[in-house]
Amino acid sequence: MNEHLIIGLLGTALTEQERVWLKEKPPLGVILFARNIESPEQVKALLAEVRATTGQQTWAAIDEEGGRVNRMPWAPFNNRRHAAEYGVMYERNAGTAIQAVYQDSLAIGEALNELGFTHNCAPVLDLFHPDGHGIIGQRAFGDHVEQVTALATACMRGLQDAGIEAVGKHFPGHGRANADSHVAVPEVDAPLATILSEAESFSRLIPEGLKHIMTAHVIYTDTVKEVATLSPFWVRHVLRDRMNFFGRIWSDDLCMKGVGEDVSSAAQQALQAGCDTLLVCEPEGVRAIYKDL
């Protein structure tokens, strides 16, 4: 199990317990949040310490989407546009918007690479829906597949050209969801055909080179009565078989209420459903899952 885990850390340096876990049962990677971040020098030192402890080229991920999803309060990470602002720009001049997203993502990728990161949990591939919960909102590039695909492709390429892997999210689409999966179990009651057509933003990035896709903790009531993260229908049948995705399938954070209260159980279910990269972001969740390893 540990070789599938991407774990959150408690603070700005490793605890003694974290050193034991990293050394004895190294995870696939770590993911940093604002609580782990003080300065560029401290971030570099923390990621170097992680890799010195595991003795491996451990992945290091972060959520730097721009706009309100920002972890590092210094340039070039702070004061970036929301994805939706690029969407407005796209409607005026598509080429200008695509180039702007690429340049922004390249700069962010280069800065992430310099700090020791390997993955950025972006781009958001969800479509904006005005009647959906605000958890996506301005994080979406737009409300139709062509626009989202064009801008997300530019984001992915900018990151990749800087040596950072992009993680597209949240499959098959969180924009219509009626709740925030951090605190509840969202549902989408649109027909399956609608969900699949809106998930084209994912399938179109796959042949363009997207190697990582994160699932949504959302129940699509027209299909199966379980969240997509824990659903073989969505993970194996749709993403693997129908969309021919052979990269890594990331669960969204398994500490979120969208997958229940038991992190270890959610991790087992996500693995059985076909996820091969398991995000466990909160320290108490990491403690619980390592207790069971």
Catalytic site positions = 182, 252
**CA distances in angstroms from 47 to 60, 65, 145, 186, 225, listed in the order given:** 7, 20, 36, 34, 39
Q: Kindly tell me the burial class for residue 218, based on how many C-beta atoms sit within 10 Å of its own C-beta (0-12, 13-18, 19 or more).
A: buried
Give the single-character DSSP code of 131: T
Q: Which residues contact 157 (CB under 8 A, 6 or more apart)?
A: 102, 105, 208, 209
- Buried b / exposed e over 114-128, threshold 16 CB at 10 Å, is ebbbbbbbbbbbbbb
Give the single-character DSSP code of 128: P
Check if the beta carbon of residue 181 is closer than 8 Å to that of residue 216.
yes
Question: 């602002």: which residue's tokens?
Answer: 85
Tell me the two tokens of residue 12.
Answer: 């700005």
Question: 């690029």: which residue's tokens?
Answer: 86
